[in-house]
Chains A and B, each alone.
Chain A
Amino acid sequence: MSTAAERAAQLELTSRLRSAYPELPDAPTPDMLDHGRITAYWKPVHDVGGEPDAPMKYENKQYEEWEHMTYVMCETLGWRGIWLSEERRRIGNVDVGRAQYLGLPYYGRWLIAVARVLVEKHHIGLSELSERMAEVKERYAGGLDGRKPEAEPKSEGDGSQVKRNKHAEEADGKGDPGCYAGQAGQAKFKVGDPVVVRELPVIFYTRTPEYVRGAKGEIEALAYETPAAEDETWDRAVKPEWMYVVRFNLAELFYGYTGTASDVISTEIPERWLELAK
Chain B
Amino acid sequence: MTDHGHDHDHDHDHDRTVAPMVDEITDFEVLEIALRELCIEKGIFTAEDHRLMTEFAEQIGPTPAARLVAKAWLDPKFKELALAEPMTASKEVGVDWLHPTGWGTPSDFTAFQILEDTPTLHNVIVCALCSCYPRPILGNSPEWYRTPNYRRRLVRWPRQVLAEFGLYLSDDVSVRVQDSNQKHRFMVMPLQPEGTEDWTEDQLVEILTRDTLIGVALPKAGVTTNAIVDTRPAVHPGNAG
Our verdict on whether A and B bind, yes or no, reads yes
CB contacts (< 8 Å) of A147 on chain B: these are 21
Q: Within the complex, which residue of A58, A124, A137, A160 is in contact with B147, where a contact is CB–CB below 8 Å?
A: A58
Q: How far is the CA of A61 from the CA of B14 in the complex (A)?
A: 7
B85 → A minimal CB distance (Å): 13
A108 within 8 A of B: yes
Q: Is A71 an interface residue (CB 8 A)?
A: yes
CB <8 Å contact, A263 and B43: no
Cβ-defined contact, B128 with A71, below 8 A: no
In the complex, identify which listed stretch (B2-10, B62-70, B76-84, B228-236) lies at the interface while the others stay far away: B228-236
- Cα-based distance from A53 to B159 in the complex (angstroms): 15
Is B33 a contact partner of A150 (Cβ separation < 8 A)? Answer: yes
B19 contacts chain A at the CB level, 8 A cutoff: yes
Q: Is the CB of A50 within 8 A of B107?
A: no
- Tell me, in angstroms, the Cα distance from A107 to B22 when the chains sit together: 19
Tell me which residues across on chain B come within 8 A of A145, comparing CB atoms.
23
* Contact residues in A for B104 (Cβ distance below 8 Å): 171, 175-176
- Look across to chain A and name the residue whose beta carbon is closest to the beta carbon of B226: A60
Q: Which residues of A contact B50 (CB under 8 A)?
A: 72-73, 76
Interface residues of B in 143-173 (CB under 8 A from A): 143-144, 146-153, 155-161, 164-165, 171
A263 to B32, CA, bound (A): 43
Q: How far is the CA of A263 from the CA of B130 in the complex (A)?
A: 23
Contact with B along A164-183 (1 / 0, CB 8 A): 00011001111111110000
Distance in angstroms from B195 CB to nearest chain A CB is 27
For B148, what are the chain A residues with a Cβ–Cβ distance below 8 Å? Answer: 48, 53, 102
**Distance, CA A188 to CA B228, complexed state (A):** 43
Q: Is the CB of A259 within 8 A of B36?
A: no
Cβ contact of A75, chosen from B23, B105, B130, B179, cutoff 8 A: B105
A124-B38, A209-B129 known; A65 and B18 CB under 8 Å? yes
Question: How many Cβ-Cβ contacts under 8 Å join chain A to chain B?
Answer: 347
A10 interface residue (CB < 8 Å to B): no
Supposing A149-B25, A172-B102, A175-B98 touch, asked if A60 and B35 sit within 8 A by C-beta, the answer is no
* Separation of A160 and B184 alpha carbons in the complex (Å): 33
When the two chains form the complex, which single residue of A46, A73, A162 contacts B36, counting CB atoms closer than 8 Å?
A73
Whether a CB of chain B sits under 8 angstroms from the CB of A62 is yes
B223 within 8 Å of A by Cβ? no
A63 touches which of B16, B103, B171 (Cβ 8 Å): B16
In the complex, the answer to whether A73 meets B32 with C-beta atoms within 8 Å is yes
Interchain CB contact (< 8 A) of B130 among A89, A114, A250? A89
Q: A111 to B28, Cβ gap below 8 A? A: yes
Closest to B55 in A: A72
Contact with B along A131-150 (1 / 0, CB 8 A): 01101110010011111111
Q: Known: A60-B143, A245-B184. Contact between A137 and B25, CB under 8 A?
A: yes
Q: Are B53 and A72 in contact, with the CB atoms below 8 A? A: yes
Q: Are A62 and B38 in contact (CB under 8 A)?
A: no
Q: How far is the CA of A179 from the CA of B183 in the complex (A)?
A: 13
- Give Cα A263 to B47, complex, Å: 49
B105 touches A62 (CB 8 A): no
Q: Which of A97-132 contact B (CB under 8 A)?
A: 102, 105-108, 111-112, 114-115, 118, 123-124, 128-129, 132
Question: CB-nearest residue of chain A relative to B50?
Answer: A76
Q: Which residues of A contact B228 (CB under 8 A)?
A: 58-60
Sample (30) of A-B pairs whose CB atoms are under 8 Å apart: A46-B130, A48-B151, A49-B179, A50-B156, A53-B149, A55-B161, A58-B165, A60-B230, A61-B232, A63-B18, A73-B50, A75-B106, A75-B107, A76-B53, A114-B35, A133-B30, A144-B23, A149-B25, A156-B41, A168-B103, A171-B103, A172-B102, A176-B183, A178-B111, A207-B181, A257-B156, A258-B159, A259-B175, A266-B178, A267-B181
Given A49-B152, A59-B228, 11 new contacts (CB under 8 A): A58-B228, A65-B29, A66-B33, A140-B24, A144-B25, A160-B43, A176-B110, A259-B158, A263-B158, A263-B177, A265-B178
Please provide the 9 A-B residue pairs with the shortest distance between their CB atoms, ordered closest to farther: A159-B43, A78-B106, A157-B43, A175-B110, A49-B128, A58-B144, A171-B103, A143-B23, A267-B179
B positions within 8 Å CB-CB of A: 13-19, 21-26, 28-47, 49-50, 53-54, 57, 97-98, 101-107, 109-111, 126, 128-131, 140, 142-144, 146-153, 155-161, 164-165, 171, 174-184, 228-234
A residues contacting B by CB (< 8 A) are 46-53, 55-80, 82, 84-85, 88-89, 93, 102, 105-108, 111-112, 114-115, 118, 123-124, 128-129, 132-133, 135-137, 140, 143-162, 167-168, 171-179, 207, 209, 211, 223-224, 226, 229, 243, 245, 250, 254, 257-260, 262-268, 270
